[in-house]
């Protein structure tokens, strides 16, 4: 079984994303990407998977915390220890570094955000993807995955 950190996920955001109903997930299955590997149940292997390999997670470029990619913008704007360095663009609704914010707004070329029920916006590649958890899984885990994600899912779902 998972430890307290594993049950809520590295960012504590599991209730909003892919790990939402992880109570029945076996100890050898990643609650985020669904990878099933008996080695994940051994020692710290699940944590190592979260910190190094899970394609649904990333390391915050500011604080290093492991978070779900689906909530990366929210993390930068509301949770990160460096949140004062980011502002939300009213047009695309993405987190933009304050040093780049004026230029970002002046260019006025960012893609206008669409309703969350219609699309997800990937904070890594800025592409719109299908909505909800399945949209995130399709974008981050299937085929080649997100082109801007260094982590790749080891198998197709």
Does 15 score more than 60 pLDDT?
no
Averaged pLDDT, 17-30: 68
Residues 86-135 pLDDT 10s = 999 999 999 999 999 999 999 999 999 999 899 999 999 999 999 999 99
Statement: residue 16 has pLDDT above 50 = no
In DSSP terms, 58 is beta-bridged to 67
pTM for this structure?
A: 0.81
Other Cβ atoms closer than 10 A to 125: 12
């Amino acid at each position: 079984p998972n430890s307290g950190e594993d049950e809520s996920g590295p960012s504590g955001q599991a209730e909003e994303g892919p790990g939402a109903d992880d109570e029945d997930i076996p100890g050898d299955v990643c609650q985020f990407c669904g990878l099933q590997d008996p080695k994940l149940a051994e020692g710290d292997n699940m944590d190592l998977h979260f910190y190094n390999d899970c394609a649904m997670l990333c390391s915050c470029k500011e604080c290093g915390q492991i978070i779900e990619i689906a909530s990366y913008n929210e993390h930068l704007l509301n949770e990160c220890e460096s949140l004062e360095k980011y502002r939300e663009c009213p047009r695309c609704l993405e987190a933009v570094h304050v040093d780049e914010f004026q230029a970002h707004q002046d260019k006025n070329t960012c893609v206008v955000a669409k309703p969350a029920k219609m699309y997800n916006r990937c904070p890594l590649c800025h592409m719109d993807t299908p909505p909800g958890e399945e949209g995130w899984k399709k974008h981050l885990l299937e085929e080649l995955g997100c082109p801007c994600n260094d982590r790749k899912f080891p198998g197709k779902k």
